[in-house]
């Protein structure tokens, strides 16, 4: 991988993970929650969003180990969900939960439409667009899984409250203590081939 491709990959990853978190904060702000804004987390300055493990260590380990792509996350944006629930109800909470995923898929689709106008081989912009598709789809699909603390689990939790199926929300709350263990098993074992298959399918679909 050339220096330009490494730089493009890093930029694409930062755009995907930082934008994802900012969108959570922006939608929460729409529902009257100033927590992220007051903490300076609605800024596009990448420094305020850096998570030591998710933004630096994990992507570096994946890169130097020869993984097919880097992966990571930014520091979660602080949100006062009680304020969101008070002003927007469970529908507002679902909107906050899915804001980052929506951003990722939207950006991936836009990048896939623009990509054909650039030659990916030897083109910094072309490779950047390609990696924007890859990282945003991977991040979007990853967060859709109903495994706490991923966004998909929060959306399902709030939706289950709406339809009076509180046992689902209660189950997800109990599952949260094991969530990171489950995710590590799914990502760090051969199960990852199945875990990321939906993302691979969507990437192939967008890049055709």
Confidence class of residue 123 from pLDDT cuts 50, 70 and 90?
confident
Q: What is the token pair recorded at 133?
A: 């598709």
pLDDT (0 to 100) of residue 68: 63
pLDDT tens per residue across span 169-195: 999 999 999 988 998 888 778 887 888
Q: What's the structural domain count of the chain? A: 1
Q: 80, 33 in Cβ contact below 8 A?
A: yes
C-alpha closest to that of 23 among 110, 115, 143: 143
What's the whole-number mean pLDDT along residues 73-97? 95
Catalytic residue among 4, 5, 21, 176: 21
Distance CA 132, CA 72 (A): 14
- For residues 1 and 30, which has the higher predicted lDDT (pLDDT)? 30
Residue 21 annotated as catalytic: yes
Domain that holds residue 176: 3-207
Please give the mean pLDDT across all residues of the chain. 91
Bond prior to 64 in cis (omega within 30° of 0): no
């Amino acid at each position: 991988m050339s220096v330009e491709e490494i730089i493009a990959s890093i930029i694409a990853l930062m755009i995907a993970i930082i934008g994802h978190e900012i969108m959570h904060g922006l939608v929460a702000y729409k529902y009257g929650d100033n927590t992220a804004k007051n903490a300076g987390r609605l800024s596009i300055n990448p420094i305020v969003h850096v998570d030591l493990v998710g933004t630096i260590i994990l992507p570096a380990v994946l890169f130097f180990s020869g993984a097919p792509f880097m992966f990571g996350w930014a520091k979660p944006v602080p949100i006062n969900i009680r304020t969101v629930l008070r002003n927007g109800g469970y529908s507002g909470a679902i909107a906050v939960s899915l804001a980052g995923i929506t951003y990722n898929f939207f950006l991936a689709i836009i990048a896939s439409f623009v990509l054909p106008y650039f030659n990916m081989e030897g083109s910094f912009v072309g490779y950047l667009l390609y990696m924007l598709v890859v990282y945003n789809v991977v991040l979007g699909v990853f967060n859709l899984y109903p495994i706490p603390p991923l966004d998909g689990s929060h959306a399902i939790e709030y939706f289950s409250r709406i339809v009076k199926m509180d046992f689902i929300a209660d189950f997800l709350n109990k599952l949260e203590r094991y969530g990171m263990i489950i995710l590590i098993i799914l990502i760090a074992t051969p199960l990852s081939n199945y875990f990321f298959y939906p993302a691979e399918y969507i990437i192939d679909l967008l890049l055709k």
